[in-house]
Amino acid sequence: MTVIVVGAGLAGLAAARRLVESGQEVVVLEARERVGGRTEGGRLADGTPVELGGQWIGPTQDRMYALVEELGLELFRTHNDDGQLLVDLRGRRSRMSSHRGAMPRLGPFALADLAQGLARFNRLAAHTDLAQPWETPHARVLDGQTFETWIRRTLRTPTGRAYFRIVCEAVFSADASDLSLLHALYYSHSGTDLETLVSVDRGAQQDRIVGGSIRIAETMAARLGDRVRLGQVVRRVTQGADGVMIETRSGERFTGSHVIVTLPPTLAGRLEYDPPMPSWRDQLTQRLPAGSVFKVYAVYDAPFWREDGLNGQAVSDRGPVKVTFDNSPPSGSPGVLMGFIEAGDGREFARRTPQERQSAVLGCFARYFGPQARHPREFLERDWMAEEFTRGCYGAHLTPGVWTSYGPALREPVGRIHWAGAETAVHWNGYMEGAVVSGEAAADAVLADERQVP
């Protein structure tokens, strides 16, 4: 019988691909008129591809590197070179090497504070149980406080606290007061460690895909052909003893043996289920908010900041854009600065006009890279909170108490309904790597179920 996959993001496409390779019939139902989900391709006026959603991969994301090769795609390095990273903390600007392990030029107290904070965080994170975070030693204590509580208790200097808060916003697009400490620890261990998550060099931001990350989804979808149905907004999932029936917004019905739902958990919780979800699964999806983020681009004739010895990366405690990157194509032309408006800034700026946002973003770029940055030839933004079929990015985070009260419900199938998606991944949870591996794991679980049917 057919297996139905809901969502043609990376998890859904990877699941479908694995099922097809095993000889299984598959239908992928995708709400949007495009594939890729939280990866999305765009084009500048001159045709240069840009990535409006997820874009980087980095070492230890082994499945992504293998997939890129299997699909015949090519990689290039994020622009880093020998340029320096600009640090703008508590009103003081300094430059630092952007190589992994480098520390900002800070006073001795702040530096010592930061070093002990990082050591403590990494020690705690290394003890989290990735498969069952609720089994982590002292899980209830860690899950009973926010990341912000830990920052206030552990870091002694305003600079040390500011650093951790910026890292939290950059990694989760959420404020440190939004998420459980256990989740912050688990998530960073899931992606190796905090340093890996924030680094370009040997970190999560190291490599990009030629033509844009959307090429991954598009190439997988092309091979799946008409098994992928676009514009199919799934509304209702019914399961019985013999199989499942999926109904879409337009009233179409699809039947199959199993369904793999790959939606971000909040959206999965908004589908109608018959019979209704068990209370623990529904209550879980009530407690997994998505982060708040705009991705913004300013395009210039050339990457002028490189002439000034800067690599286009900035880190600041003053928003709305607190983190930037040089997102120019491999040729270096045009010069592209990319930034994120995250967490509280994202929420606040969602209510402003596009003109107000553009002016505030360019103000930040000018503060980091000089007055030239105020005059891009093109400006782009993508509000991921406003996207009907995503409703926030980069992914979901768990609020205090959720891992320890509802953890198992995140991955456990409910009868013939299996869950996949970046949020369900054990390794690289929240990333493209996690999405792909979760999709393949769900496909394997469905195939194992199918084999058990007499």
Ligand X SMILES: Cc1cc2nc3c(=O)[nH]c(=O)nc-3n(C[C@H](O)[C@H](O)[C@H](O)COP(=O)(O)OP(=O)(O)OC[C@H]3O[C@@H](n4cnc5c(N)ncnc54)[C@H](O)[C@@H]3O)c2cc1C
Residues in contact with ligand X by the rule CB under 6 A: 6-12, 29-32, 37-39, 53-56, 233-234, 262-264, 267, 293, 295, 384, 389-390, 393-395, 421-422, 430-433, 435
Do the Cβ atoms of 233 and 250 come closer than 8 Å? yes
CB nearer to ligand X: pick between 56 and 369: 56
CB nearer to ligand X: pick between 166 and 393: 393
Look up residue 281 and give its two tokens: 């699964």
Neighbours of 70 (CB within 10 A): 11
Q: How far is the CB of 430 from ligand X (least distance, A)?
A: 5
CB nearer to ligand X: pick between 11 and 409: 11
Q: Which of 398, 335, 391 is nearest to 187 (CA)?
A: 398
From CA 210, how far away is CA 74, in angstroms rounded? Answer: 5
Q: How far is the CB of 24 from ligand X (least distance, A)?
A: 19
Q: How far is the CB of 222 from ligand X (least distance, A)?
A: 16
Do the Cβ atoms of 38 and 394 come closer than 8 Å? yes
Q: How far is the CB of 188 from ligand X (least distance, A)?
A: 14
CB nearer to ligand X: pick between 113 and 423: 423
Do the Cβ atoms of 294 and 279 come closer than 8 Å? no
Q: How far is the CB of 389 from ligand X (least distance, A)?
A: 4
CB nearer to ligand X: pick between 117 and 421: 421
From CA 241, how far away is CA 415, in angstroms rounded? Answer: 9
CB nearer to ligand X: pick between 113 and 387: 387
Residue that has been written with the tokens 């179409």 in this structure: 252
CB nearer to ligand X: pick between 112 and 233: 233
Q: How far is the CB of 429 from ligand X (least distance, A)?
A: 9
Q: How far is the CB of 297 from ligand X (least distance, A)?
A: 11
Q: What are phi and psi of 341, to 5 degrees?
A: -105, 110
Beta-bridge partner residues of 417: 259, 414
* HSE (side-chain half, CA atoms, 13 Å) at 81: 16
SS3 396: strand
Residues 6+ apart with CB under 8 A from 253: 245, 246, 247
